[in-house]
A = this chain, B = another copy of it.
Amino acid sequence: MLPLLEPEVVPCCPPLAERPLTAEEAERTAVMFKALGDPVRLRLFSAVASHEGGEACVCDISDVGVSQPTVSHHLKKLKEAGLLSSERRGTWVYYRVEPAVLAAMGQLLTKAAGA
């Protein structure tokens, strides 16, 4: 039986406007925002999210003006932040967005905005 793979970072925390985050909650959540706080990573993330079938390999998204090793480096960072999952198939590693993590981040902000 295959174990269910959990993303390495699990979203936490109430909407930002509900109460002040604790230090620990802020540490966990800042990791995810920081991962999207770089223009190249944000473009790559958007390229994966908008790619056909919701997944992409480095071979699919090499048109952002940086080298393939740099693309791989940034995709790994996004994965470490829990925003992407990955699966090796043959030669390539395919990346996919983690919808639950993104939805949780979106709610942190949207509910904060409504307050």
Contact = CB atoms under 8 A, between A and B. Distances in A.
Q: How large is the interface on A (under 10, 10 to 19, 20 to 34, 35 or more residues)?
A: 35 or more
Contact of A49 (B17, B23, B27, B40): B17
Contacts of A108: 106
Interface of A: 16-23, 26-27, 29-31, 33-43, 45-47, 49-50, 54, 61, 64-65, 97, 99-103, 105-115
A37 B39 contact: no
Given A39-B27, A106-B106, A110-B107, A18 B50 contact: yes
A113 B47 CA distance: 14
B26 A33 contact: no
B17 A115 contact: no
